[in-house]
Structure 1
Amino acid sequence: MEHTPRTVSDVMTQTVVAIGQEARFKEIVETMEQWKVSALPVLAGEGRVIGVVSEADLLLKEEFRETDPDRMEQLRRSDAVRKAGAVTAGELMSTPAVTVHAGDTLAQAARTMAYKSVKRLPVVDSEGLLQGIVSRSDLLKVFLRSDEDLAAEVRTEVVDRLFGEAAKELSVSVTDGLVTLSGRLRNVSLIPVAARLVRAVEGVVNVTFDVTDAASAGAVPPSAEPQL
């Protein structure tokens, strides 16, 4: 069974297109078009990431092309106005760069992307040197795991560990990433815990329960099942 990809290093792209501070506007656009990327890390020295230039940074030149911002807008959007007149990566880049480390979890990377509203994150080492890049699509690779792989991990890492001897009375099935635990359960109070642990397995879409309470020999009522 494959180990669950839990860190950025498992999914990141190590071959990264980057630019220097002196890269000119047109060169930046041509590089993005050539490599089909929406943002480029800006490097200094031997590869230290000092910023990122994105399509959004470049489009500011178009936004302000036909209008001159008034005094109020200049004050309110001073950074955007400045970038609209920029011609080099050093002038255009957003800095400091929003980055992650190879050892960060995928959940940490996803939260950073969501919080900072970015699509790609440079991966750096402890010195800030570029190691790779991770994108939204990279983080979604965990959902390509096979149902058989997910079922095996849920069985060994969740069901067997959580329920001990009682685990033999539960079966695990997975269809399109949806996990179903079925059988007899001696301690239904563990269902919310089991649900949380199963959802934490990388690649699981959701989990449902089709169990009977071994203590009362009755079906667990829907209200006792965990809700999203």
Structure 2
Amino acid sequence: MNIAFFLLPKQDVVSVPHNATLRQTLERMEHHRYTAVPILNNEGLYVGTVTEGDLLWHMKDKDLSFDQTHKISLADVPLRMSNHPVHVDADIRDLISLVKVQNFVPVIDDRSRFIGIVRRSDIIDYCEKNIWAGQSKLQSSM
């Protein structure tokens, strides 16, 4: 199965630019109620994924108040997790191995440009539907 079937396209994905401030990142995540978002550079390349934890740990470690967050670049925040992207032509097995440990998997094209994400919940929904459909067929053949 082609992983593009599960793709949430870039235009529908909440992301942050790599040159955003800590405050801009916090506000975007709060507004959309996300705990993690992809970071993209000016060329549209996937840079990494920032999480609430990354932001909070940085604020704690640097003893920052919220009022100071507009002065801090997102680039200065260490990312504690490494959300690996997959190529759009990747095997579904590669996708599943990543989605087990990531809430979403960034997807890139041949030029390493970010084209969207695959959400863990979409994979689980697909599997659930196929499991129930398979069980129904099995029960009806008995």
Q: Which amino acid aligns with 1:9?
A: A
Do the aligned residues in 1 keep the contact of 2:48 with 2:82 (CA within 8 Å)? yes
Please give the alpha-carbon distance, in whole angstroms, between the structure 1 residues aligned to 2:16 and 2:102.
18
Shift in Å, 1:121: 1.7
SS at match of 1:29: helix
SS in 1 for 2:106: strand
2:96 aligned partner: 110
Q: Out of 26-35 and 7-16, give the one that drifted further.
A: 7-16
Structure 2 stretches lacking a partner, 5+ long: 64-70
Distance change (3 Å), C-alpha of 1:125 and 1:51: same
> Relative to 1, partners in 2 of residues 1:7 and 1:92: Cα closer, same or farther, differing over 3 Å?
farther
User: Residues 45 and 113 of structure 2 are in contact (CA less than 8 Å); yes or no, is this contact kept in structure 1?
Assistant: yes
Root mean square deviation of aligned Cα: 3.0
Contact (CA 8 Å) 1:24, 1:89: kept in 2 or not? yes
Count residues in correspondence: 131
TM-aligned CA distance change 1:64 to 1:58, over 3 Å: same
Query: What amino acid is the match of 2:41?
Result: A
Alignment partner, residue 10 of structure 1: 5
- Which residue number corresponds to residue 67 of structure 2? none
Q: Secondary structure at the match of 1:53?
A: strand
Of 111, 115, 132, 2:116 maps to 132
| Distance in 2 separating the partners of 1:96 and 1:125 | 19
Secondary structure at the residue paired with 1:123? strand
Following the alignment from structure 2 to structure 1, what is the Cα–Cα distance between the partners of residues 108 and 96? Answer: 16
Amino acid at match of 1:27: Q
Residue 66 of structure 2 corresponds to: none
1:90 is paired with a residue of what secondary structure? Answer: helix
Q: Secondary structure at the match of 2:5?
A: helix
What are the ranges of 5 or more consecutive residues in structure 1 without an aligned counterpart? Answer: 1-5, 67-85, 152-173, 184-228
Task: Report the residue type matching 2:123 in the other structure.
Answer: L
Q: 1:20 to 1:65 in 2, by over 3 A?
A: closer
Taking the TM superposition and a 5 Å limit, the aligned residue runs for 1:91-110 are 91-92=76-77, 94=79, 98-110=84-96
Tell me the residue number matched to 1:26: 23
Q: Given the alignment of the two structures, is residue 47 of structure 1 paired with residue 33 of structure 2, yes or no?
A: no
1-structure distance, mates of 2:6, 2:138: 23
C-alpha separation in 1, matches of 2:40 and 2:78? 11
Higher relative contact order (CA 8 A, sep 6+): 2
CA–CA separation in structure 1 for the residues paired with 2:56 and 2:2: 33
Question: In terms of Rg, which structure is larger?
Answer: 1
In 2 relative to 1, CA 46–65 (structure 1 residues): closer, same or farther, beyond 3 Å?
A: closer
Determine if contact 2:17/2:42 at 8 Å carries over to the other structure: no
